[in-house]
């Protein structure tokens, strides 16, 4: 599943970030910002038009990502909501 496919409010765990092209600077920046395997993320809000951009919470940080950026991140849905 892709981060861009998460339903609103859903929590998930990052699997990996895929490069959209060779040496993708956006993918590299996402990794630097903490989108790495095992990191919990949550979809907090969506933009008013076309549900874009997405507001993703990772750790204590909220990042606004466009759908195309979020689509680089592969995630697993969290089965059980941990507190």
Partner 1 sequence: MSAGTLRIALVGNPNCGKTALFNQLTGGRQKVANYAGVTIERKEGRFTAPSGRVLQLLDLPGTYSFDVTSPDERITRDVLEGNYPGEAAPDLIVCVADATNLRLHLRFVLEVKRLGRPVVLALNMMDTARRRGITIDVPELQRRLGLPVVETVAVKRGGVRALIAQVDGEMPTAAPAQPDDAASRAGLHAQVRELMAATVVMPRATAQVDDALDRWALHPVFGLAILAVVMFLVFQAVYSVGKPITDAIGDGFDWLGAQAAALLPAGPLQSLVTDGLFGGLGTVLGFLPEILVLFLFILVLEESGYLPRAAFLLDRVMLSVGLTGRSFIPLLSSFACAIPGIMGTRSIQDPRDRLATILVAPLMTCSARLPVYALLIGAFIPARHVLGAFNLQGLVLFALYAAGILGAMAVGWVIKRIRRDRSEHALLMELPSYRLPHPRDVAIGLWERGSIFLKRLTGVILSLTVLMWFISTFPSPPAGASGPAIEYSIAGYLGRGLQYIFGPLGFNWQISLALIPAFAARETAVAALATVYAVGGEGGDLGQALTAHVSLASALSLLVWFAFAPQCMSTLAVIRRETNSWRNVAISFGYMFAVAYVASLLTYQIARWLT
User: From residue 57 to residue 76, what is the string marking binding to partner 1 with x (rule CB under 8 A)?
Assistant: x-xxxxxxxx-xx-------
Q: 2, 10, 11, 39: which one contacts partner 1 (CB under 8 A)?
A: 39
Range list of β-strands (E), 18-51: 40-49
In angstroms, the CA 47 to CA 4 distance is 13
56's torsion region: left (phi>0), alpha (psi -120 to 50) or beta?
Answer: beta
Task: Report the distance separating Cα 6 and Cα 9, nearest Å.
Answer: 8
Q: Is 10 in the site for partner 1 (CB under 8 A)?
A: no
Structure tokens given for 22: 């060779």
Residue 11 sits in the site that holds partner 1 (CB under 8 A): no
| Shortest Å, Cβ 3 to partner 1 | 13
Q: Does 7 engage in binding with partner 1 (CB under 8 A)?
A: no
**Interface with partner 1 (CB under 8 A):** 20, 25-26, 28-34, 36, 39, 44-50, 52-53, 55, 57, 59-66, 68-69
């Amino acid at each position: 599943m892709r981060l861009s496919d998460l339903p609103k409010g859903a929590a998930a765990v990052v699997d990996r970030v895929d490069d959209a092209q060779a040496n993708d600077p956006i993918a590299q920046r996402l990794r630097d910002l903490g989108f790495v395997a095992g990191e919990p993320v949550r979809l907090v809000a969506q933009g008013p038009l076309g549900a874009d951009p997405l507001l993703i919470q990772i750790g204590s940080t909220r990042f606004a990502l466009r759908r195309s950026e979020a689509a680089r991140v592969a995630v697993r849905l969290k089965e059980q909501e941990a507190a």
